[in-house]
């Protein structure tokens, strides 16, 4: 699988971009704040419909876009044919630029205007339909903190991969998040004596069904990741280290439970903590509180591992993610590397380069091309990124 063509209009600092792509290594070099990450963000949105960099879609719309719209247009070549993906993002609250009579006023848009429109092969689709059309693996500097970062980052790592290869998982996760928000609001109202606690029963039934589905898929993915990550860790550590990724759910179902038995077990635990949840006004159990733990030779990396070990584990885990998605879909994901080489020592740079050189399509950004050996630069399609414009070199 690879991206054949990418066109952007008023996306971040790209007022207009028309880029032909194909298999191979594409190197985008430039100073900070020139648009390197923005380019990878656009490719990632084509794959997942959401930004890894923005808290809201509207943030990707260029402030000076005349219609306050950003457009992404991409052609993707897969084993089963070619796809044409179009995404239009609307910013309903653009900034007011200028002052007085010179201020730029936003155009009037009718109520109910969609904030994001998606087409696949010219047919309007939902965001959920887009996910999985083009799989991608993103490796950014933040991923080097997968081990020592927050639990939320580790959950995001699992969810981003699973959503691309398991559409039912993505659907269940979206529904689960909505119910968690509804349930938290209801818990607060019950705490303040505005609602009957028995109203939780219906939400809990739905919540436990979705939560057990999510947990079972996460368990399956972690089982596969462990098989794939172990040899990478051995290779990166010179055969000295054994890696194990442990799933730490917020409640522990019996390993031999069926989906139905796990749901009943979860429901009983929810009833046990109900009074505590009402007092605190939050949902205390569920996939939104799960975590991962990384063990090297049986010891916790976050507690006992060096900074170098933590980065080696992060690299091995990302390599395993790439292999997992390839095995799950039968297609090579597009690999996006956002300035990670500047964060690695020479040995790990060489190991990462060796791992990606034969990948079908790699889009890589850097501030310093001197990190790369001459033979790699000769193979790469190279672009200088300057203020939202690409210049081949």
For the annotated binding site, the residues are 30-37
Is the backbone of residue 362 left (phi > 0), alpha (psi -120 to 50) or beta?
beta
Q: What are the φ/ψ torsions at residue 254 (nearest 5 degrees)?
A: -65, 135
CB-hemisphere CA count at 13 Å for 2?
13
Distance of CA 26 to the CA centre of its chain: 21
Closest CA to 357 of 334, 330, 380: 380
Closest CA to 36 of 371, 390, 318: 390
CA distances from 113 to 72, 91, 129, 267, 348 (A): 18, 10, 20, 40, 48
Residue 307: both structure tokens together: 């900074």
Closest CA to 1 of 46, 52, 66: 46
| Cβ-based neighbour number of residue 181 at 10 Å | 11
CA distances from 17 to 8, 85, 178, 217, 339 (A): 5, 16, 36, 38, 21
d(CA 255, CA 59): 43
What lies within 8 Å, CB to CB, of 387 at 6+ separation is 13, 34, 35
Going by the annotation, the residues of the binding site for ATP are: 30-37
User: Using CB atoms within 10 A of its CB, is residue 256 exposed (0-12), middle (13-18) or buried (19+)?
Assistant: exposed
Nearest 5°: CA angle at 269, between 263 and 272? 150
């Amino acid at each position: 699988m690879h991206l054949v063509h990418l066109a952007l209009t008023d996306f971040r600092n790209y007022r207009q971009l028309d880029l032909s792509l194909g298999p191979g290594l594409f190197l985008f070099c430039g100073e900070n704040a020139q648009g390197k990450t923005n380019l990878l963000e656009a490719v990632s949105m084509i794959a997942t419909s959401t930004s890894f960099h923005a808290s809201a879609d509207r943030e990707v719309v260029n402030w000076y876009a005349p219609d306050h719209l950003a457009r992404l247009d991409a052609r993707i070549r897969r084993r089963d044919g070619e796809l044409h993906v179009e995404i239009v993002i609307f910013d309903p609250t653009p900034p007011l630029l200028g002052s007085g009579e010179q201020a730029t006023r936003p155009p009037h848009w009718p109520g109910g205007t969609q904030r994001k429109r998606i087409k696949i092969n010219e047919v309007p689709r939902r965001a959920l339909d887009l996910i999985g059309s083009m799989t991608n693996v993103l490796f950014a500097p933040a991923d080097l903190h997968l081990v020592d970062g927050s639990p939320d980052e580790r959950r995001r790592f699992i969810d981003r991969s699973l959503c691309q290869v398991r559409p039912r998982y993505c659907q269940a996760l979206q529904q689960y998040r909505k119910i968690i928000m509804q349930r938290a609001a209801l818990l607060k109202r019950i705490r303040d004596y505005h609602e009957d606690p028995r109203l939780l029963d219906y939400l809990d039934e739905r919540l436990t069904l979705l939560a057990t589905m999510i947990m079972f898929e996460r368990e399956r993915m972690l089982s596969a990741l462990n098989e794939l990550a172990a040899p990478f860790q051995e290779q990166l550590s010179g055969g000295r280290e054994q890696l194990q990724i442990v799933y730490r759910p917020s409640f522990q179902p019996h390993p031999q439970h069926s989906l139905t038995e796990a749901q009943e077990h979860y429901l009983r635990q929810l009833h046990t903590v109900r009074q505590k949840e009402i007092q605190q006004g939050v949902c205390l159990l569920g996939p939104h509180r799960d975590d991962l733990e990384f063990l090297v030779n049986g010891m916790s990396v976050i507690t006992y591992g060096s900074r170098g070990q933590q980065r080696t584990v992060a690299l091995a885990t990302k390599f395993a993610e790439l292999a997992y998605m390839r095995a799950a879909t039968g297609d090579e994901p597009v690999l996006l590397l956002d300035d990670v080489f500047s964060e690695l020592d020479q040995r790990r740079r060489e190991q990462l380069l060796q791992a990606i050189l034969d990948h079908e399509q790699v889009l890589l950004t850097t501030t310093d091309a001197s990190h790369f050996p001459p033979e790699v630069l000769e193979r790469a399609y190279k672009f200088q990124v300057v203020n939202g414009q690409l210049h081949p070199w």
